[in-house]
């Protein structure tokens, strides 16, 4: 069960900006410039996914070198990945779902963890485990705004970060929901901009995304 401090940390991180970028890094050399551009654009919480061999080293570099960045780890599937990310300097962890092994490891771990859920039953199970902030994934495929609104009726004590199929055209509709803390998306860090080191473009995308939280 997460402790009060871990829950408060997750809620704080989810409230730093309306969007948490979901980042795939192919080379450690890309990570620092990319993270600095996001922070300069007003998006400090950054989820670097464990989808490439460079991910843990990228987390380590951002944690050490980018002032103002709150670097997290995504696509955590095993207890071993949770521990490796913590040792690399991650401040939060995100998973697409949950498993008995991962739940057991998270109970004993210091790293705040955001487990994923897509159904009311999954949400209720994670509530029983003490979680009050969840990742709603895959958001669009699981019913999108209507599904989150529906879940919020019987489960008003839960908050969500929605990820999966969300972009600049529909992010604002999610962020109007009272149970939605933030959205996650990859559109802030397009692959061509990352590969070419076009940090100005990424900063501009971050500034635009920051605006989704206005009003």
List Cβ neighbours of 33 (8 Å cut-off, separation of 6 or more). Answer: 197, 199
What is the distance between the alpha carbons of residues 185 and 162, in angstroms, rounded to a whole number? 9
* CA Rg value for the chain: 16
110 noted as active-site residue: no
Single out the catalytic residue among 122, 135, 140, 176: 135
- Give the helix ranges, DSSP H, for the chain: 4-14, 28-40, 55-65, 79-88, 100-108, 120-128, 144-152, 171-175, 191-196, 199-210
Look up tokens 């192919």; give the residue.
Answer: 26
Single out the catalytic residue among 47, 67, 80, 110: 47
What is the distance between the alpha carbons of residues 149 and 32, in angstroms, rounded to a whole number? 37
> CA 9, 52, 115 angle in degrees (round to 5)?
35
47 noted as active-site residue: yes
What is the distance between the alpha carbons of residues 209 and 133, in angstroms, rounded to a whole number? 22
DSSP codes, 149-185 = HHHHTT-TT-EEEEESS--TTTHHHHHTSTTEEEEEE
Any idea which residues carry the catalytic annotation? 47, 135
């Amino acid at each position: 069960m997460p402790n009060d401090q871990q829950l408060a940390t997750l809620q704080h991180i989810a409230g730093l900006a309306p969007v948490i970028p979901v980042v795939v890094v192919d080379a450690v050399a890309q990570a620092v410039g990319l993270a600095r551009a996001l922070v300069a654009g007003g998006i400090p919480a950054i989820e670097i996914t464990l989808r490439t061999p460079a991910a843990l080293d990228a987390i380590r570099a951002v944690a050490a070198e980018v002032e103002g960045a709150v670097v997290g780890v995504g696509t955590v599937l095993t207890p071993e990945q949770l521990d490796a990310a913590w040792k690399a300097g991650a401040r939060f962890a995100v998973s697409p779902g949950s498993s008995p092994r991962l739940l057991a490891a998270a109970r004993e771990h210091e790293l705040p963890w955001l487990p994923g859920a897509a159904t009311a039953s999954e949400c209720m199970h994670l509530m029983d485990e003490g979680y009050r902030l969840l990742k709603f994934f895959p958001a669009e495929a699981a019913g999108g705004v209507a599904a989150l609104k529906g879940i919020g009726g019987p489960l008003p004590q839960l908050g969500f970060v929605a990820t999966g199929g969300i972009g600049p055209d529909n992010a604002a509709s999610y962020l109007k929901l009272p149970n939605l803390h933030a959205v996650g998306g990859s559109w802030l860090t397009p692959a061509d901009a990352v590969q070419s080191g076009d940090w100005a473009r990424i900063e501009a995308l971050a500034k635009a995304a920051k605006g989704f939280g206005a009003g």
